[in-house]
Amino acid sequence: MIWDYFYLALKGVLHRKLRSWLTILGVLIGVAAVVSLISVGQGMQTSIEKEVNKIGADKITVVAGSGKFGPIAGSITTAKLTDKDLKVILETKGVEKGAGVLFRTSKIKYGKKIKHINVMGSPTDESRSYIEELPFFQIESGRQFSEKDKNSNVAILGYKIAKEKFGKEIKVGDKIYINDEEFKIIGVQKKAGTGTHDLVVRIPLEKARTMFGTEEFTIIFAKVQKGLKPGDVADKIKKRLRKLRNVEKGKEDFSVETAEDMVKRLTIVLNVVQVVFTSIAAISLLVGCIGIMNTMYVSILERKREIGVMKAIGAKNYDVWLVFLIESAMLGLVGGIIGIAFGFALAKLAEFIIVVEFDVELFRIEAGFSFILIALLISALIGGQASKMNPVECLRE
Amino acid sequence: MKKIPIIRLVDVWKVYKMGDVEVEALRGINLEIYPGEFIAIQGTSGAGKSTTMHIIGCLDVPTKGKVYLDGEDISKLNENELAKIRGKKIGFVFQQFNLVPTLTAIENVALPMVFQKVPNDERLERAKILLEKVGLSKRKKHKPSELSGGELQRVAIARALANDPKLILADEPTGNLDSKTGKKILEIFTKLNEEGKTVVIVTHDKNIASYAKKIIHLKDGKIIRR
């Protein structure tokens, strides 16, 4: 029997095809926005937490510049970090070990394909042990750098560079060109699960310095001795660097950050992003809901006579309610389900484009499903409105 | 043995509120309709014809007075109880046909049976027979937009008969039809009455009213002549 009501409702939806589709489109956009934006927002958070966790709480990062906005500000500042800074940092009490690295985007050629990829100058001296200990620089095949590689044209590839980036797999022993210089591959890293480390080409630091014509470090990392607070050690490093670089407190041309600081700073930025995303999503949803309400109210007004007739020929309030509920819910459900699929696809697309692992997990479509619940509620209200109409008034229309 | 009227109105008043003004649409109507009668309720516009029809058809309840259907007082029933009675005992035919535009002729005829929970096969079978009865068996798959005025009204009559009601109520059933088609429609009502249905036609047109066996004249919400 319920199928009769579905049939009546479906006929109603199909009778007003264009309007139904436009309503569905409105819902679709709203739900897609919610699912994709919330997925991307939460995915970003997860990915950053994951990356920071991998670095570890006992790590300290030093970059040039005031550092308020991270390495980007560091790269445009005139202040530079050099071997002197590294030495001072390594000699600071409480620092167990550390390393300085240099990053530059370079032209990489393999076969006939050319890509622009981050090249990392990675230490070959004893400080390389710091890098080798980090979980995201582990080797899957081949080997790490050794002291002998200091000035050689050898390279270690991030997982995705080796497996995906150039269409075919690059293996240990293959040759690639970095800024037109030939390099031999001596190692491929294990999958790190973070874009920064899976999409990197490592070459010996000294080689990188010659190639890029600079003596600087982009970042200096330090590991804090067991049992000490990273914050305290970071303060000591700051103090010593101020003295070395001859700057006053508060006017530093460098920044020292612990993992905790980094999480805090990123969380603030992320929260803003999340608020913006959530607001956009909420507005889209609201518009979608209003779309359904508008369509259905217009439909009820147009069909007052039909409602009157249905009642005259024996339809109870419940019957009328059910027909309009189903009709309205159909618009919400079709729009909602397509919207969830679209949102999911959009989030996946964003993941693909920005490379950072967004972790679009299925449970984030909750947002989409809660919309469907809202749509059902609205439908129930609209159905109620239609069913309570007085048959005599309806017939008089 | 005295026959029980299908419908009995006892001193029925209907007062509408239009803003601050109260409009007395019916002012003390007393009326009895017996099984097998063919009655025309005639009056000018605003005489209270439609309101009388709504009350007879259990679409509305009186402000004051009593309405008995098959001897049962229905003037205090709620909307759902009234809907139940309408579905089973009364068939409506309207001036504007009022078919559901999204449904085919046969689906329109079957619609009242949906609300009475008649199984699908039985519904369609009965709708088919009813469409044959009004001479439209060839048009059963057509939508209302594909039918002429006379055909629409015949579908509407078939629909009114769907649940085999005792009483057929027609509100200006020929008002939107040319006189030739209108005549044919009225002949259907006459035939239905001969078959035993009680028919009440509401009209302003005395020629139409002349088809009925009994004419009730309404003016200003009162019966002035029987």
Q: CA–CA separation, B217 vs B206, rounded Å? A: 10
Confidence of residue A265 (pLDDT cuts 50, 70, 90): confident
**Per-residue model confidence as pLDDT tens digits over A106-147:** 999 998 889 899 999 999 988 888 888 888 899 999 999 998
User: With 70 as the cut, is the pLDDT of residue A39 above it?
Assistant: yes
CA B174-B180-B184 angle, to 5 degrees, is 65
Domain at B35-59+78-225, CATH homologous superfamily: P-loop containing nucleotide triphosphate hydrolases (3.40.50.300)
Residues of chain A contacting B91 with CB distance shorter than 8 Å: 313
Distances (CA, A) of A360 to A346, A351, B99: 10, 8, 50
What's the pLDDT score for residue A45?
Answer: 77
State whether B94 and A311 contact (CB < 8 Å): no
What's the pLDDT score for residue B39?
Answer: 94
Q: CA–CA separation, B189 vs A10, rounded Å? A: 34
User: With 60 as the cut, is the pLDDT of residue A74 above it?
Assistant: no
pLDDT over 90 percentage in chain A = 26
CA A64-A70-A75 angle, to 5 degrees, is 50
Distances (CA, A) of B142 to A70, A87, A209, B153, B172: 72, 92, 84, 14, 24
State whether B83 and A11 contact (CB < 8 Å): no
User: Which range (A56-60, A352-356, B140-144) has the least confidence?
Assistant: A352-356
Q: How far is A279 from chain B (nearest CA, A)?
A: 40
> The tokens 């305290």 sit on which residue?
A232
> The tokens 């979980």 sit on which residue?
A135
**Cα A101 → chain centroid:** 25
User: With 80 as the cut, is the pLDDT of residue A91 above it?
Assistant: yes
Q: How far is B83 from chain A (nearest CA, A)?
A: 5
Confidence of residue A75 (pLDDT cuts 50, 70, 90): very low
Global confidence as pTM: 0.69
**Per-residue model confidence as pLDDT tens digits over B16-40:** 888 888 888 899 999 999 999 999 9
Confidence of residue A193 (pLDDT cuts 50, 70, 90): confident
Q: How far is B2 from chain A (nearest CA, A)?
A: 30
Q: Structure tokens of A240? A: 């010593």
ipTM: 0.90
Q: CA–CA separation, A253 vs A245, rounded Å? A: 8
Q: Structure tokens of A245? A: 């670089």
Is residue A205 within 8 Å of A101, Cβ to Cβ?
Answer: yes
Q: How far is A385 from chain B (nearest CA, A)?
A: 15
Confidence of residue A70 (pLDDT cuts 50, 70, 90): very low
Helix axes B79-89, A317-354, angle to 10 degrees: 110
Ramachandran category for residue B15: left, alpha or beta (phi over 0 → left; psi -120 to 50 → alpha): beta
- Of the residues B49, B54, B96, B102, the best mutation for testing chain A's interface (the one with the most A CB atoms within 10 Å of its CB) is B102
User: With 90 as the cut, is the pLDDT of residue A65 above it?
Assistant: no
User: With 90 as the cut, is the pLDDT of residue A280 above it?
Assistant: no
Restricting to A residues 162-221, those with a Cβ less than 8 Å away from any Cβ of B are none
Q: What is the mean pLDDT of residues B86-111?
A: 92
Q: Structure tokens of B97? A: 């046909």
> The tokens 């819910």 sit on which residue?
A329
pLDDT over 70 percentage in chain A = 93
Q: Is the dihedral of CA B177, B183, B187, B193 positive or negative?
A: positive
Domain ranges of chain B: 35-59+78-225
Q: What's the whole-number average pLDDT of chain A?
A: 85
CB pairs under 8 A between A and B: 77
**Cα B73 → chain centroid:** 20
Confidence of residue A355 (pLDDT cuts 50, 70, 90): low
Q: Does A1 touch chain B (CB under 8 A)?
A: yes
Confidence of residue A72 (pLDDT cuts 50, 70, 90): very low
Pick the more confident residue, A136 or B186. Answer: B186
What's the pLDDT score for residue A361?
Answer: 56
Is residue A256 within 8 Å of A60, Cβ to Cβ?
Answer: yes
Q: What is the mean pLDDT of residues A162-189?
A: 92
Q: What is the mean pLDDT of residues B84-96?
A: 91
Q: Does A9 touch chain B (CB under 8 A)?
A: no
**Per-residue model confidence as pLDDT tens digits over A295-334:** 888 888 888 888 999 999 999 999 999 998 998 888 888 9
> Among partner residues A11, A15, A316, which is closest to B83 by beta-carbon distance?
A316
**Per-residue model confidence as pLDDT tens digits over A228-245:** 888 899 999 999 999 888
User: With 50 as the cut, is the pLDDT of residue A26 above it?
Assistant: yes
What's the pLDDT score for residue B159?
Answer: 95
**Per-residue model confidence as pLDDT tens digits over B152-174:** 999 999 999 999 999 999 999 98
B interface with A, Cβ–Cβ below 8 Å? 50, 54, 57, 59-60, 79-80, 83-84, 86-88, 91-92, 94, 96, 98, 100-103, 111-112, 114-117, 120, 159-160, 162-163
State whether A14 and B102 contact (CB < 8 Å): yes
Q: Which chain A residue lies closest to B51 (C-alpha atoms)?
A: A392
What's the pLDDT score for residue B111?
Answer: 94
